[in-house]
Amino acid sequence: MHTHSPLAASFILHFGEMGSRWGVNRTVGQIYALLFISNRPMHADEIAETLTMSRSNVGLGLKELQAWKLTRLQHLPGDRRDYYSAPQDVWEIFRILVEERRQREVEPTLTLLRDSLQQEVGSEIDRVAQQRMHEMYNMMQLLMDWLTDIQKLSPETLKRLLRLGGKVAKLLDFVDRMGESRKETPAATPDEPPKG
């Protein structure tokens, strides 16, 4: 790798290693990391030279990143080459990744589950399987509905929500207790003053 910065090299190598865990190859991870930390758009030959990769590997990696909407193609005045950059806003990147994963992984699973739940079942084994699929579908759909709502939040609101952390659970627990105490307190009749 022909980068003069140990900090940059460490980041790029790490993203390459993590790429396989995220479902992309090492090359794609390294290209993305380089573009993300770069202070300017880069052309494919420059990326290949910096990362000591073949031009064809870089081209394939850039196509994959474009399919994920994680790179932007642009042209510079007076230069016929294609230049690439990555979104710099981490919240925008988060939204892109969530949406792309939803379309590639979650939606096909929800479609399969919906189709399975519409089938008539006759055996007990199939009834049990369908019940479990129904539970999985409900959980996944609930998460996707929640995620849709979360994606509509501004980055500032999302940061505030994330900073709440465990306080959200405490708030929900408090709300649940309040609801239970209201159920336990009998409603006052018009002739009788409220208790407590």
pLDDT of residue 187: 56
> 3-class DSSP state for residue 42?
strand
Q: Does residue 167 lie within any of the structural domains?
A: no
Residues 69 and 108 in one domain: no
Residues 119 and 73 in one domain: no
Q: Does residue 172 lie within any of the structural domains?
A: no
Count up the domains in the chain and report the number: 2
Q: Does residue 131 lie within any of the structural domains?
A: yes
Kindly report, residue by residue over 1-31, the tens digit of the pLDDT: 666 689 999 999 999 999 878 888 999 999 9
Residue pair 95/126 in contact (Cβ under 8 Å)? The answer is no
Residues 13 and 68 in one domain: yes
Domain that holds residue 99: 90-158
Kindly report, residue by residue over 106-153, the tens digit of the pLDDT: 999 999 999 999 999 999 999 999 999 999 999 999 999 999 998 899
Residues 77 and 119 in one domain: no
Q: Does residue 119 lie within any of the structural domains?
A: yes
pLDDT of residue 118: 95
Domain ends where: 85, 100, 128? 85
Chain-centroid distance, C-alpha 140: 14
What gap in Å lies between CA 129 and CA 184, rounded to an integer? 39
Residues 116 and 97 in one domain: yes
CATH number at residue 81: 1.10.10.10
pLDDT of residue 169: 82
Q: Does residue 170 lie within any of the structural domains?
A: no
Residues 13 and 81 in one domain: yes
Residues 67 and 127 in one domain: no
Positive/negative CA dihedral, 99, 100, 105, 110? positive
Residue pair 48/55 in contact (Cβ under 8 Å)? The answer is yes
Taking the CA of residue 156 as centre, how many other CA atoms within 13 Å lie in the half-sphere pointing to its CB? 0
